[in-house]
Structure 1
Amino acid sequence: MTTLGIYLRLSRESADSASLDTQRAAAHRWLEAHGYDPSDAVEYLDAGVSGTKPLEDRKAMSGLMADRPSVVVAWKLDRFARSVSEFLRLVAWAEAHGVALATADNSIDTTTPTGRMAAMVLSALAEWERNMIASRITDGHSTRRSQGRWSSGRPPFGYRIERRDGAAYLAIDDNQAATARDAVNALVNGSTVAATARMTGLSEPQWRRLLKSPTLRGQRTHKGELVCEADGIMPIQFAPPILAAAELMAVRERMLDLATGADRAPRRATPMCSDIAQCYRCKGRLNGGTSDKGVPLYRCKAGHVTIYAETLDRRVEKEFLAAFGTYAETVVRLDGGNDLSAELLEAKEQAERLAARMATAGPLMLGTLESLAQDLEDTYARLRDAHDPDVREVQVATGQTMAEAWEAYDASARSRLLSGMGLRVTLHPKQEADRLTVSWGPKPEGAAEDALKDIAWQEAS
């Protein structure tokens, strides 16, 4: 049976104040002072292991308990355990197997009744101190949240940390906020979550979580709940909003459309003119496919006509650039109106929280809550009176020509563009000199100028 044991434990490799060398040297001094030869001692090392971990879940401690040395020394009590329950289990095991526990700082020595009592008291104090520290940290975070201050960690995308009056607050990061607005505008105007995430430099899950949270409204959640004032109703404003409530609601509606397939973009593998080109005979849409040699094709589902995809796509691209390449790319922006739908929704959510509070409030608080309810009713009435959602769509030039934009678009974006411009391609049989008929916009009575007006392209200056 092993006579002497030295137990070493380190929670983190960088814990310099409790380094292995420090622990080992102190244990050797204790052994020498008590007439033992340190060279006879066996070391049991648990590196990267918390003192709160159960004894049997620590590899070295399990080995020590299996070997049952007659004397085990550690640097300090917290090397053995940081909870009363685990330390008491160790003491009980030691007593049952005749093992003496000691620390190099002489805080415990279980060979005597006094030493055993002191060990239990010190262990209880260590656990109490740890719980008090955890409680202070939790209370501190709660206080900072209630004051609209930033607790800790990196600021969310779109914001930066600003120190005022000795405390940390969130302020808008102009560059990141502009990027977020551009990405949101692109998403609402037909892009996808994945594509707009790349614009921000965030991963898709990070960008998705940000859009689903109230962060860009300058608000926060804690444990899944919106952080509110002491009344539990009004949200705490941690920072100026980057997006208006209506903008954030439009983003979430767009994300819902994408998730449910209501506005799903064509798959990358889908040919550019799929669902746009049709058969001359049956008027059915041409689907994508491949030849026996794997060459991409467009083919009529009924088998009337077939053409190489590259041939049709190049013809459409050539005619598009010839007709519209010099025109300016534009995006749709909403102008006019006063859409307060999101603000009305937020007021309803506040009313729901207020109703929940009133359902459990006593007589002392009921009067205050009723006053808040009246204020909320007045606010909702003002919003409803000012709500005028009628808006007009305005085409805003992006600064590049359609030819330049075409080069930057992928196949799915080109397909959406062509579809939005009313492209119609008809495929004729092989006997025809020109198998392809390409038209844009409404065919009958629609002159070129009318078609361009309908799709709202403006000629580049």
Structure 2
Amino acid sequence: MTATKAAPEWTAEELAELADLQARNDALPEDAPRGLLSVRLSILTEGTTSPARQELDLRRHAIREGVKVVGVARDLGVSATKKAPWERKELGDWLNNRTPEFDLILFWKLDRFIRRISDLHEVIKWCEKFGKNLISLNDTLDLSSAMTQAMVTFVAAVAEIEAANTKTRVSSHWEYTKQQDQWRIGKPSYGYKTARVGDKLRLAQDPKQARAVRYMYQAVMRGVPANRIAKVLDRAKVPTYSNRKWNNQQVLRILRNPAVKGVRTEGGTKATTYKSKPVLDKQGQEIRVTDDPILTDKEFESVQAALATRSKKRRHHEKNRRPTRFLGVLKHECGRNLNETNNYKELSTGEVKEYRYLRCPDCRKPGFVTPDPEHVYKALWQAVFARLGGYEVLRREYARGDENRRERKRLEESIAYYMSGLEHGGRFDKAGSIREKAEATLDALMNELTKIDPDSTKDRWIYENTGMTYAQHWNTGGVEAMERDLLSAGITFRLGRQEDGELLGQLIIPYDIKERLIRMNNNWS
């Protein structure tokens, strides 16, 4: 990394020092221990240590200890409680794919690196397996000592307790706040904004958003589908809650949320399909946080009934719906994923016939539809088998070079010993059998040294043949195994139509497909 690529919050003085430290780092010998810097921060406040300061402190320490910095893993806006080190974007890439490139990991403080005891134990096991070390700038840390491992576990326990206490304080504050009729914390639901009413902070209508919610309500009551409502809002350039394009789920989520009628709500997690529920006071009544609701209680109930009626009409479709096979692999020529959709037609006999087809969700009028998904799946299967079925399944394993390094060092020291002894005036510089034996021993040592592959003294990835082709692997694992392999390798199957309307499929394979298909073991529990 060069100084010009530093994060924008760096000052001119910090950039100058960074350039100086990098120059000193480049001057270190090639055989110096290789260090990876880990910089993490969940939220930047005045009381936290900035990423720039963390990195500069770590680089100063590395120079003092003679450690050559080979990379920096910056994970900003990442919670150590929610994401383990191997799950983070930058640090995870180093731990999972670039393991041979470093010998130790340096971080500013243990709680900057990890906050869960279970994660710490996992990382310690990983370090033992791959021969790595952990160094903390502000904690005494050296994994070569069992006592230090116990100490590290204790410090991590304190960090985990601190994180749990923070969570408890936040939960306690919310339990108190949600019973109040004024707005203290959190972001208001779509359609509202905070406003001062007397000595209280309450909710008031946001004019643009409230007008959009009223339109959604009126359109649903007229029978307009949610996806049509989303398109109208997009064309009108109505801002969404998250500044993204409107879709039918956003419309339904807003209208189904009781917060739209100006009451306090809680819930709304993915596990409950974002279904929020009103907060009740001690008398069992809903807590009002605005004097000017967008929808009245009666309007809210009527729109729920209208949405429920539409859901009932589609209920028999849901039980027959299945996930799209090869999702992410099958793409339209426009670049979007193709989705498998089903349609139903009631015959004169009363029987309901199901029709399945693949379509591009973005291309309309005339759009792109294939009426026979099974034909497309079969064509994809055959194309992949023809191009990749004969490839051998390789597995990546980690090979440590410390044993061969020790053996090479022993041989080099022994060779130096005998060579100095055979020099003039040396201990073996004598006529007769003593010199002959020393020369024979020297020849044997040098022969052994030539047998050691220099690459085998380095930590490295090795690739083993499993004795199976991908055709055999896919025949055994089925569609699911092929889907996983194609997605991880970045292979796509693009569909389009020629001028005469004939369907055309093209299998797109990356140039480095053999490397992408290599199977890699998961080294984390």
Q: Structure 2-normalised TM-score? A: 0.40
- TM-score normalised by the chain length of structure 1: 0.45
